[in-house]
Amino acid sequence: MDFNFSEFEKKWQEHWLANKVFSSEADTSKPKFYCLDMFPYPSGAGLHVGHPEGYTATDIICRYKRAKGFNVLHPMGWDAFGLPAEQYAIQTGTHPAVTTQKNCDNFRRQIQSLGLSYDWDREINTTDPAYFKWTQWIFIRLYNTWFDKELQKGRPINELPIPENVSARGSQAVREYIESKRLAYYDNAQVWWCNTCKTVCANEEVLNDGSHEKCGTKEVERRFLKQWMLRIPHYAERLLNGLNQLDWPEGVKDMQRNWIGKSTGAEVDFNVEGIDEKLRVYTTRPDTLFGATYMVIAPEHALINSIVTADKKSEVDNYVRAAALKSDLDRTELSKEKTGVFTGRYAINPLNGQQIPIWIADYVLMGYGTGAIMAVPAHDTRDFEFAKTFDIPVVCILDPKDQADVELREKILKGEACWTDDGEYINSSNPELGLDINGKSKSEGIATVIKWLDERNLGQATVNYKIRDWLFSRQRYWGEPFPIIHWEDGEISVVEDENLPVELPKTDKYQPSESGESPLANATDWLQVTDKNGRKGRRETNTMPQWAGSCWYYLRYIDPKNDKEPFSKAKENYWMPVDLYIGGAEHAVLHLLYSRFWHKVLFDLGIVSTDEPYKKLYNQGMILAFAYETASGSKVPSDKVEEKDGKYFHIETGEELKQIVAKMSKSLKNVVNPDDVVDNYGADSLRLYEMFMGPLDATKPWTDTGVKGVFNFLKRVFYFFADKNNITDEAENTETLKALHQTIKKVGQDIEDMKFNTAISQMMIFTNHCYKVKKVSRETAETFAKVLAPYAPHLAEELWSIYGNDPAICQQPWPEVNESYLVENTFEYPVSFNGKMRFKLELPVDMPKEEVEKAATEHENAQKWLEGKQITKIIVVPKKIINVVVR
RNA sequence: GCCCGGAUGGUGGAAUUGGUAGACACGUUGGACUUAAAAUCCAAUGGCCAUUAUGGCUGUGCGGGUUCAAGUCCCGCUCCGGGUACCA
């Protein structure tokens, strides 16, 4: 009897696939469970061991939920648009669709070799015209929607009220007004352009060090280009509020909140001396207005020319020109050294009538708030740094009192240090104007000043968000074409629904043009269109970013073959929302935020039935690998390392190396290929090891010996339970029944809590128990196989059939826990003296407290600890501990 | 800088949320089987000290505190990981 895992794993995989064991249909008579994995980008490199981590976790949950009677939707597909296939096309001329198909086939083969219980009839591919037809369809819905601020709701564009002053200016004005309200719009945008990729990239793809995330080069610069943008900030408040109801990791919610970046404050108007313009600033701290000693406007501010005095003009011009040449990046990279220039003009502080100088500095950004600030160096660290650099007075108006130590407080009061926390106001009163916040706290102060400003029309409470319009176009070939036509008269129209999809043109030139137009501009036949009146038009040549397809794929899984609509309303109503969504934390912000945004628009339009798409979210941790480095910190590839007595040495130099944990990489030669693991140890071993390594959300290093450990466990299970000599028809003994039911309970509970590692350990404990008792009943063996099935489904099926049952164990119900086997009559109390455990004492659980005390203190082992001491107190916690306090 | 998360044996990690620290596994050591090795099975295994066994001390990044009792709670740090960064 051999543990021939390759043979039976293949056998059962074929059985599941051929019998469509895991296909599911909407069935309102059963409770549903929609369990989703973040679908992969099918890269040429194939599956990484990181992929099966989340997939195994969801698979275990799905198999468990099916056994618990749920109708489970568990699909898989491919996020297959993307740069690598296009780059490969540029180099080799192979059409990206060919490369993509090959990679998808390989991914599917690899995923199927792991025995994951996907419903393969629902497989989707974002590059399939039958799929992206509906991506385009949704884009058209976005284009034809405006956001009603009052109702906080997206509405069809034909319901947009046109203000009279707009309609009075004619049809062109009306058109512009409508364009300005659509959720999708086409406009000149200053965008990042990557000279290597020949494409624009989103802000978030440009890393802090100035390199492009996708290609790694630093060839990014600013350019103005006509681009598609989505007005995601209109949904900022909805996206923010929606988070509260979600069962997501707090960390992810925080990241989204930070990204949306809501701040409340006030806009305040300042009079400017000598000109008839007001300067409007945004501040979150209107309470510190008494401490404003200067103002700063961004170098791009519209009022610069009227504010700058003649004698300062050339100096200011130079500064503004220099700032324009700097990228945002340079402006932030030199963050510590603040630069700026005085405009020569003064504004008037509305609270005390004092003159305050207006400066221009690039630490103020035009894109946020009003592009102008009042600077309060005493209570804002950035303003403080600037004031110190340029010798501007610092006036403290908030006394930290005892929140700062004496020395620091002294400095703050003298304007030699900055204080941003709460305190008590000083120097903050103007009786003539009826404003006095002295002695108040920060929150009171803010409220009082806003009210005061509002009453005098000097300012009003305002909310600002960091989140910006979403740059939604790329100059690439391998993406969804926009269903858009630009007509020669300047009109933009969308392609009619019945003419979707707009497919990609055939071409053999994948190289983007220098001008920045995508390769689609080369496809002349495809490009030019004429309407029925002979008007000439040109198709949009940009394509959508990779985010597009992943924004709504979870909806298409519900009804993947529907060619009349993106999905049936009834099916959507049954399956949504996604009950559990597992994927990497790298998508914590963008994918999840974008996708929530689309979903909310679809919800507002009545296309989906839920406000949020993903009820519960969980991030699996990253799988790393051990790597080695020299004392100086240079990395050494794993094949150049040898181990001796737990220490590591360089094979060639003999130098002792330090073992570190790092990302798997080709250069470190520590990449683990799932195919190799499946070949050597089987799919069940791979699955089990990925789950046994540690908590699902932890970052953890891969070790080959660890795989051997779980492989060994599976072998022990097989050799014990497949051996008929160990299986009896006699009644089970109570100890085994107790161990078994503990295992059913623990494993079930741990799956619900997603604590897979401890569930496996419980199954190991049970197996060790079986080896000790030598024989178990057939019923015990079959029950254990059912418990094992979600984790090691192939082995469980094999055992199930060895016992003569018909397939399949994965369609058997989850065993019931019989609590009566678990009842404990006695408990082995740890007896402590002054908190230190000294001996153990088995006592009935229902023994009265007094008797327990007596039993403990009169026990012979206790005498040693009581000798010459006095008992002051005895703590008895039933079924926990006995603690005797002595003096 | 700010916001999260983390630190437990030689290693990966457990610990019912304040109640026996180190489950389970890897590794190591010893034993059984074998001509031998591998595989398998059994046993031991935090550190230190002691011993005739029973035993004692110590121990969850560091320093304080609360408590009968702290890996767990509170205060103050150190280091590591992730996110974000002149957002007024």
Q: Is A701 left (phi over 0), alpha (psi -120 to 50) or beta?
A: beta
Q: What count of other Cβ atoms lies within 10 Å of the Cβ of residue A224? A: 10
Instruction: Based on the fold, state whether residues A361 and A283 are members of the same structural domain.
Output: yes
Bridging pattern class, strands A528-530 and A536-539: antiparallel
Asked if A291 and A379 touch (Cβ cutoff 8 Å), the reply is: yes
User: Among A217-221, A244-248, A340-344, A596-600, whose mean pLDDT is lowest?
Assistant: A217-221
Q: Give strand letter and number of the nucleotide nearest A266 (CA to C1').
A: B88
Q: How far is the CA of A37 from the C1' of B40 (A)?
A: 39
Q: What share of chain A is helix, strand, coil (3-state, %, to 5)?
A: 40, 20, 40
Instruction: Based on the fold, state whether residues A856 and A711 are members of the same structural domain.
Output: no
Among A464, A488, A512, give the residue marking a domain's end: A464
Give the pLDDT band (50/70/90) at residue A280.
very high
Instruction: Based on the fold, state whether residues A630 and A779 are members of the same structural domain.
Output: no
Instruction: Tell me, rounded to whole angstroms, the distance of Cα A461 from its chain centroid.
Output: 32
Domain-embedded: residue A869: yes
Q: How many helices (H) and strands (E) does chain A have?
A: 29, 39
Model pLDDT, residue A100: 96
Give the pLDDT band (50/70/90) at residue A368.
very high
Instruction: Based on the fold, state whether residues A858 and A751 are members of the same structural domain.
Output: no
Q: How far is the CA of A647 from the C1' of B10 (A)?
A: 10
**Which three-class secondary structure state does DSSP give residue A224?**
strand
Asked if A475 and A516 touch (Cβ cutoff 8 Å), the reply is: yes
**Which three-class secondary structure state does DSSP give residue A128?**
coil
Instruction: Give the N- to C-terminal CA distance of chain A in Å, as an integer.
Output: 65
Angle at A258 between CA A287 and CA A700, to 5 degrees: 140
The 10s digit of each residue's pLDDT in A683-705 is 999 999 999 999 999 999 999 89
Instruction: Based on the fold, state whether residues A658 and A681 are members of the same structural domain.
Output: no
Q: How far is the CA of A596 from the C1' of B7 (A)?
A: 35
Q: Give strand letter and number of the nucleotide nearest A204 (CA to C1').
A: B84
User: Among A465-469, A797-801, A809-813, A844-848, whose mean pLDDT is lowest?
Assistant: A844-848
Beta bridge partners of A702: A625
Model pLDDT, residue A258: 93
Q: Rounded distance, CA A231 to CA A468, Å?
A: 8
Q: Give strand letter and number of the nucleotide nearest A626 (CA to C1').
A: B11
Domain-embedded: residue A632: yes
Instruction: Tell me, rounded to whole angstroms, the distance of Cα A215 from its chain centroid.
Output: 22
Question: Which residues does A669 contact at the CB level (< 8 Å), separation at least 6?
Answer: A637, A638, A639
Q: How far is the CA of A733 from the C1' of B72 (A)?
A: 38
Give the pLDDT band (50/70/90) at residue A145.
very high
Instruction: Tell me, rounded to whole angstroms, the distance of Cα A503 from its chain centroid.
Output: 31
Q: What's the mean pLDDT in A65-80?
A: 97
User: Among A274-283, A460-469, A597-606, A623-632, whose mean pLDDT is lowest?
Assistant: A623-632
**Which three-class secondary structure state does DSSP give residue A95?**
coil
Q: Give strand letter and number of the nucleotide nearest A466 (CA to C1').
A: B87
* Closest residue, CA to C1' of B12: A693
* Closest residue, CA to C1' of B21: A837
pLDDT at A720 over 60: yes
Average per-residue pLDDT for chain A: 91
pLDDT at A196 over 70: yes
Which tokens go with A21? 């064991």
Burial of A203 (0-12, 13-18, 19+ CB in 10 A): exposed
Give the pLDDT band (50/70/90) at residue A37.
very high
Q: How far is the CA of A683 from the C1' of B72 (A)?
A: 37
* Closest residue, CA to C1' of B54: A861
What torsion, rounded to 10 degrees, do the Cα atoms A137, A496, A82, A220 define?
-110
* Closest residue, CA to C1' of B84: A258
Q: How far is the CA of A768 from the C1' of B29 (A)?
A: 21
Model pLDDT, residue A796: 97
Domain-embedded: residue A759: yes
Instruction: Based on the fold, state whether residues A780 and A880 are members of the same structural domain.
Output: no
Burial of A711 (0-12, 13-18, 19+ CB in 10 A): buried
Model pLDDT, residue A328: 57
Residue ranges making up the domain that contains A640? 624-662
Among A398, A433, A464, give the residue marking a domain's end: A464
* Percentage of residues of chain A with pLDDT beyond 90: 69
Q: Rounded distance, CA A734 to CA A776, Å?
A: 11
Instruction: Based on the fold, state whether residues A299 and A448 are members of the same structural domain.
Output: yes
Model pLDDT, residue A510: 86
Q: How far is the CA of A646 from the C1' of B27 (A)?
A: 9
Q: Give strand letter and number of the nucleotide nearest A708 (CA to C1').
A: B26
Q: Rounded distance, CA A835 to CA A176, Å?
A: 77
Domain-embedded: residue A8: no
Among A779, A794, A821, give the residue marking a domain's end: A821
Instruction: Return the exposure string of A372-388: e unless at least 16 CB atoms fall within 10 Å of the residue's CB, then b.
Output: bbbbbbbbbebbbbbbe
CATH number of A338's domain: 3.90.740.10
Instruction: Based on the fold, state whether residues A771 and A880 are members of the same structural domain.
Output: no
pLDDT at A234 over 80: yes
**Which three-class secondary structure state does DSSP give residue A562?**
coil
DSSP assignment of A831-864 equals EEETTEEEEEEEEETT--HHHHHHHHHHSHHHHH
Question: Which residues does A540 contact at the CB level (< 8 Å), separation at least 6?
Answer: A228, A481, A482, A484, A485, A486
Q: Give strand letter and number of the nucleotide nearest A372 (CA to C1').
A: B88
pLDDT at A372 over 80: yes
Angle at A137 between CA A133 and CA A140, to 5 degrees: 140
Q: What's the mean pLDDT in A252-280?
A: 94
Instruction: Based on the fold, state whether residues A744 and A842 are members of the same structural domain.
Output: no
* Closest residue, CA to C1' of B5: A251
Model pLDDT, residue A306: 94
The 10s digit of each residue's pLDDT in A751-761 is 999 999 999 99
Question: Which residues does A672 contact at the CB level (< 8 Å), separation at least 6?
Answer: A49, A625, A664, A702
| Residue/partner pairs of A145-149 with CB below 8 Å, 24 or more apart | A145/A182, A145/A183, A145/A601, A145/A604, A145/A605, A146/A178, A146/A181, A146/A182, A146/A183, A147/A181, A147/A183, A147/A231, A147/A234, A147/A235, A149/A234
Backbone angles phi, psi at A131, to 5 degrees: -90, -55
Model pLDDT, residue A210: 64
CA dist A163 to A146, A174, A178, Å?
15, 9, 11
Q: What's the mean pLDDT in A294-306?
A: 94
The 10s digit of each residue's pLDDT in A793-804 is 999 999 999 999
CATH number of A676's domain: 1.10.730.10
Q: How far is the CA of A780 from the C1' of B54 (A)?
A: 40
Model pLDDT, residue A333: 57
Domain-embedded: residue A66: no
Q: Any idea which residue has 């790597």 for tokens?
A: A627
* Closest residue, CA to C1' of B15: A758
pLDDT at A334 over 60: no
Which tokens go with A57? 């976790």
What torsion, rounded to 10 degrees, do the Cα atoms A475, A477, A481, A485 define?
60
**Which three-class secondary structure state does DSSP give residue A750?**
helix
Q: How far is the CA of A838 from the C1' of B48 (A)?
A: 19
Q: Give strand letter and number of the nucleotide nearest A837 (CA to C1').
A: B20
Report the complex ipTM. Answer: 0.95
CATH number of A858's domain: 3.10.20.590
Q: What's the mean pLDDT in A333-355?
A: 85
Q: How far is the CA of A407 from the C1' of B66 (A)?
A: 30
Q: How many domains does chain A have?
A: 4
Give the pLDDT band (50/70/90) at residue A423.
confident
Q: Give strand letter and number of the nucleotide nearest A701 (CA to C1').
A: B12
Q: What's the mean pLDDT in A36-65?
A: 96
Domain-embedded: residue A439: yes
At residue A235, what is the residue type?
Y
Nearest to A461 by CA among A278, A285, A239, A257: A285
Q: How far is the CA of A761 from the C1' of B22 (A)?
A: 15
Q: Give strand letter and number of the nucleotide nearest A884 (CA to C1').
A: B68
Angle at A281 between CA A279 and CA A285, to 5 degrees: 145
Q: Give strand letter and number of the nucleotide nearest A374 (CA to C1').
A: B88
Q: How far is the CA of A298 from the C1' of B4 (A)?
A: 32
Asked if A493 and A529 touch (Cβ cutoff 8 Å), the reply is: no
User: Among A145-154, A741-750, A855-864, whose mean pLDDT is lowest?
Assistant: A855-864
Q: How far is the CA of A3 from the C1' of B33 (A)?
A: 21
Domain-embedded: residue A59: no
pLDDT at A678 over 90: yes
Q: What's the mean pLDDT in A168-194?
A: 90
The 10s digit of each residue's pLDDT in A587-640 is 999 999 999 999 999 999 999 999 999 999 999 999 998 888 877 777 888 888
pLDDT at A781 over 90: yes
Q: How far is the CA of A108 from the C1' of B14 (A)?
A: 36
Domain-embedded: residue A142: no
Beta bridge partners of A594: none
Model pLDDT, residue A739: 94
At residue A770, what is the residue type?
C
Q: Give strand letter and number of the nucleotide nearest A370 (CA to C1').
A: B88
Asked if A199 and A189 touch (Cβ cutoff 8 Å), the reply is: no
Write the DSSP symbol of residue A380.
-
Instruction: Based on the fold, state whether residues A634 and A701 are members of the same structural domain.
Output: no
Tell which strand B nucleotides have any atom below 7 Å from a protein Cβ.
1, 3-5, 10-16, 19-21, 23-27, 40-43, 55-57, 68-70, 81-88
Instruction: Based on the fold, state whether residues A794 and A845 are members of the same structural domain.
Output: no
Nearest to A324 by CA among A238, A222, A474: A222
Give the pLDDT band (50/70/90) at residue A443.
confident
Q: How far is the CA of A755 from the C1' of B11 (A)?
A: 21
Give the pLDDT band (50/70/90) at residue A30.
very high
Backbone angles phi, psi at A343, to 5 degrees: -85, -10
Q: Give strand letter and number of the nucleotide nearest A755 (CA to C1').
A: B14
Model pLDDT, residue A327: 58
Instruction: Based on the fold, state whether residues A422 and A454 are members of the same structural domain.
Output: yes
Give the pLDDT band (50/70/90) at residue A209.
low
Give the pLDDT band (50/70/90) at residue A335.
low
Question: Which residues does A314 contact at the CB level (< 8 Å), separation at least 6?
Answer: none
Model pLDDT, residue A207: 64
Q: How far is the CA of A702 from the C1' of B11 (A)?
A: 12
